[in-house]
Amino acid sequence: MKSKVAIMVALAITSAKSFAVDPQSFQTSSGFDITPLLTTGLKYDDNIASTSANETDSWIFSVVPSVKAVLDTGVSKTELTAAIANGTYFSSSDDNFTDTFIGGLFDSQLSEQSKFNVKADLVWGHEDRGTGITEGAGAAQEEPTRFNNQTLSGYYEYGAKAAPARVRFGAKYFNKEYMNQRAITQFRDYDSLLGGVNFYYDTMSGTTAVLETSVEDVSYDFVDPTAPRDSTDSNARVGVEWQISALTSGEAKIGYQKKDFDDAGREDFSGVSWIVNANWSPLTYSSFNVGTGRKAKDPLQGGDYIEETTYTLGWSHNWSSSLQTNLSYNKMEEEYVGIVRTDENDSYNASVKYAFRRFVDVTLFTTVSDKTSTVPGIEFDRSITGISFDISM
């Protein structure tokens, strides 16, 4: 599950590329362009612990200051990013949080034929009560679940830009450790190491044929009382990526996933996986997005693994140079293997963004979530409505 801090930081950091805010940077003597940003807002959440009954509501004030430093020499690019996400609950101070994100990226064109990229992220974040590892138990928890994770990834790509064929060798290390509620969270601390090789072949029609292969070793710090969860996850997918014109872009890949557990007591997975994302802009000021995906993943609660299928649909429209609307629908179906449980989560999102000034965006937004489950207590309804401000120099 993507952490809340990652989502909030992404909103803050990417606002420089969004519809209206055009932040001004200042340059240091060393050549770095420094861009500070601030996202702040007020929202009303009618079910802060995602409970199926006796819901608790609250107004929430959030502040997300961030800064990005970029040094681009034309041959190499260095990015450093830092952000803090703070949330204050008016009716439930125990749910207050302060999350932190620190990231860095280095990208270099080593020669005409080779490219190198490395990226590192550090996150000190949280999961809201009733989400993630405490799903269905939000009312029994006294505070959010806190965690930290570290990600180090990189790749080396060989192949000239003018040549149709390229090969990319990649690796990724990830570590996650929960910081509280250790009676239940200690069995979900884990490390993973992934290695992969991708092949690309560019056609003359704006499409690229892709073959992706990877193997990931997942190792948990403590043995789960039900059975060890250590596993090896292998993936191979083939498909295409396209950028035919400014009107259409996306990717479509299908393949085979195999998840082997070290312990014979857990059921292995082997089956079809896929990912599809398509963007279509029939007009320069209007775009549509549709996507779907399927994979097997480790559960945060019981079971051996989850067969997850997702669907997304979105529409973004610029009514003028200062007014934009966004609508989206997301559906997630989760079939648990190893226990009897099936979940379905539907999420509806709508927002209206107004460019009040070059350096200020004002956004009105609402999100409605509806989760059902065959396990009592997991299902819930939740709606969040609020206003946010993106402020730059």
Q: What are phi and psi of 275, to 5 degrees?
A: -145, 130
- What is the CATH number for 148? 2.40.170.20
- Measuring CA to CA, which residue among 156, 295, 168, 310 is closest to residue 235? 295
Does any domain span residue 80? no
CA-to-CA dists, residue 118 to 153, 168, 176, 212, angstroms: 6, 13, 20, 19
Per-residue pLDDT of the chain (393 residues; tens, 9 = 90+): 445 544 444 444 444 344 556 777 888 888 899 999 999 999 999 999 999 999 999 999 999 999 999 999 989 999 999 999 999 999 999 999 999 999 999 999 999 899 999 999 999 999 999 999 999 998 888 899 999 999 999 999 999 877 899 999 999 999 999 999 998 899 999 999 999 999 999 987 889 999 999 999 999 999 998 899 999 999 999 999 998 877 899 999 999 999 999 999 999 999 999 999 999 999 889 999 999 999 999 999 999 999 999 999 999 999 998 999 999 999 999 999 999 999 999 999 999 999 988 889 999 999 999 999 999 999 999 999 999 999 987
Residue 24, burial from CB neighbour count under 10 angstroms (0-12, 13-18, 19+):
exposed
How many domains are contained in the chain?
Answer: 1
Does any domain span residue 74? no
* Residue-level pLDDT at 244: 83
* Residue-level pLDDT at 21: 67
Does any domain span residue 67? no
Does any domain span residue 93? no
CB 21 within 8 A of CB 35: no
Does any domain span residue 368? yes
Does any domain span residue 29? no
H or E segment at 225? none
Task: Show the domain range for 213.
Answer: 38-58+111-123+133-392
Which single residue is written with the structure tokens 């990600």? 151
Which residues does 348 contact at the CB level (< 8 Å), separation at least 6? 328, 329, 367, 368, 369
Q: Is the pTM of this model over 0.85?
A: yes
Does any domain span residue 2? no
CA-to-CA dists, residue 15 to 39, 104, 119, 348, 389, angstroms: 9, 18, 20, 22, 11
Distance CA 348, CA 293 (A): 18
* Residue-level pLDDT at 20: 59
Q: Is 262 left (phi over 0), alpha (psi -120 to 50) or beta?
A: alpha
- Residue 194 has which token pair? 């992934």
* Residue-level pLDDT at 356: 84
H or E segment at 11? helix 4-13
Distance CA 66, CA 120 (A): 17
CA-to-CA dists, residue 129 to 77, 94, 117, 167, 182, angstroms: 39, 10, 37, 43, 15
* Residue-level pLDDT at 387: 97
Does any domain span residue 378? yes
CA-to-CA dists, residue 29 to 32, 71, 72, 93, 108, angstroms: 8, 11, 14, 43, 22
